[in-house]
Structure 1
Amino acid sequence: MNAPKFAVSLMCMDFAIAGKQVSTLSQHADSFHLDIMDGHFAPNLSLSPAWLKKVLPNSSIRNEAHVMADDPDMWLEPLADAGVNVVSPHVETLNTHAFRTMNAIRSLGMGTGLVLNPLTTFDSVVPLLERIDILTIMTIDIGFAGQPFIDEMLAKIEQAAAFKAEHGLNYEIQIDGSCSEKTFAKLRAAGAETFILGNAGLFSLNRDLDQAWAQMRANYERTTGETLPAED
């Protein structure tokens, strides 16, 4: 298995100093995870393309938008204009136009992702797996940070990892929800490759984000027994 990757959820940042925090975390993280919510599909509101356009110039790493919206297509051009590199809509919103949306994302020069809610089966996305760069498996219900981890999702992660290996595919298995020292080991054992860090996994560890990152790495290594590559 490849070395793990770590994404940071911008929704959990201090918005008053978001630009500074993005600059700091760009030195450590592999990507930023950008939650876009419409207040309908997800019962909350979060980041907007206009806000991202102001903040993302501080980023020097991959910027991935997680689109929790009834109509993901309407967000594609604004997100591309804001500097997003990968767009990940929810499969639950793509029943009538999944392949058209994937093609639209590619046509705007962005990578493609898909997100599965906890009750959505892995089998439902099999026809699209050859077309995506990232498969995000939710291990909490969408909408709010700080929810308890749903252990039943480990089997879905195992399915995604087994299918990827069996068919020689390249999608990145990313986990969204309660990634922390309490879950790193079981997620990694199931086949997780990228961990999205929020309050529990990063921001609550230390107000100094360089120190918080060092603590997160120590937590990961201690709980998984895996030595992380040295940072550049």
Structure 2
Amino acid sequence: MQYKISPSLMCMDLMNIGEQLAFFNQHADLLHVDVMDGHYVKNITLSAFFIEQIRPHTTLPIDVHLMVETPTDFIEQMAKAGADYICPHAETINANAFRVINQIHQLGKKAGVALNPATPIEFISTYIHLLDKITVMTVDPGYAGQPFIPEMLNKIKQLAELKKQHNYKFLLEVDGSCNINTYAPLFNAGAEILIMGSSGLFKKELTLEQAWQKMTTDIQQAISTIR
């Protein structure tokens, strides 16, 4: 089974950015950057300046998750800073989704959307064929370390079936509580990318190399149980 791992950089050790980026360059598939405005969610995290600073030090695609009220205020600056994927929340672009997706593509970037747990797939049905990535939130957005919402497994499965049925190009990604307890059901449902945060990768008691090895072993064991 093929899968991709995208470390969530809001959870990394910011005192050792260079060392950790060098490690991820050798092991990860993407880098996940959460941008929060303090309004759409009650938290403030990374920014275009952060992306601009790390861009010269990584060869990996940078995936920007826009947890902001007005994505159009951020899209161009994220693109200029070096983002490869730009993914606003579907709830924030419903009034102008086609224009937003076109803007991202015209900037030479890949367009995605994130779906909150309570947001149905039908919300994006008119433009799903234009998307390069869909992120299913398996926790409410804004903070790391929340419990997994099991009802999201059916949403992932439905999206995987739609992708296969219509030959859609989007990558199916999961954000929230990806860890030893959820790997098997997530992959069984059809997840293709796991965003790894505090519950699955970044452990204070382990070095990054140790945590990565444990994560990889746990994932392989989970995959071996899937039939």
Structures share fold, TM-score greater than 0.5: yes
Matches within 5 A, 1:55-70: 55-70=54-69
Q: CA deviation at 1:226?
A: 6.9
Pair 1:99 & 2:98 matched: yes
Q: Could you say which residue in structure 1 is the equivalent of 2:175?
A: 176
Q: Could you say which residue in structure 2 is the equivalent of 1:18?
A: 17
Counterpart residue type for residue 210 of structure 1:
E
Distance across 2 between alignment mates of 1:78 and 1:175: 25
Distance across 2 between alignment mates of 1:226 and 1:127: 36
Counterpart residue type for residue 103 of structure 1:
N
Matches within 5 A, 1:101-116: 101-116=100-115
Q: Could you say which residue in structure 2 is the equivalent of 1:83?
A: 82
Runs of 4+ in 1 over 2 A off after TM superposition: 205-208
Pair 1:120 & 2:148 matched: no
Counterpart residue type for residue 85 of structure 2:
V
Pair 1:203 & 2:219 matched: no
Three-state SS of the structure 2 residue aligned to 1:199 is: coil
Q: Could you say which residue in structure 1 is the equivalent of 2:6?
A: 7
Deviations 1:153-198 (A, max 9, x none): 1110011011111111111100000001110000011111110001
> Contact 1:122–1:156 (CA<8 Å) still a contact in 2?
yes
Q: Could you say which residue in structure 2 is the equivalent of 1:230?
A: none
Three-state SS of the structure 1 residue aligned to 2:219 is: helix
Distance across 2 between alignment mates of 1:56 and 1:135: 23
Pair 1:138 & 2:137 matched: yes
Counterpart residue type for residue 11 of structure 1:
M
> Contact 1:140–1:176 (CA<8 Å) still a contact in 2?
yes
TM-score by length of 1: 0.94
Q: Could you say which residue in structure 1 is the equivalent of 2:220?
A: 221
- What is the aligned-residue RMSD (CA, Å)? 1.4
Three-state SS of the structure 2 residue aligned to 1:203 is: coil
Q: Could you say which residue in structure 2 is the equivalent of 1:190?
A: 189
Q: CA deviation at 1:19?
A: 2.6
Q: Could you say which residue in structure 2 is the equivalent of 1:36?
A: 35
Three-state SS of the structure 1 residue aligned to 2:95 is: coil
Q: CA deviation at 1:206?
A: 5.6
> Contact 1:205–1:212 (CA<8 Å) still a contact in 2?
no
> Contact 2:9–2:32 (CA<8 Å) still a contact in 1?
yes
Counterpart residue type for residue 68 of structure 1:
M
Three-state SS of the structure 2 residue aligned to 1:151 is: coil
Distance across 1 between alignment mates of 2:136 and 2:204: 24
TM-score by length of 2: 0.96
Q: Could you say which residue in structure 2 is the equivalent of 1:51?
A: 50
What percent identity do the matched residue pairs reach?
39
Matched residue pairs, number? 226
Three-state SS of the structure 1 residue aligned to 2:127 is: helix
Q: Could you say which residue in structure 1 is the equivalent of 2:161?
A: 162
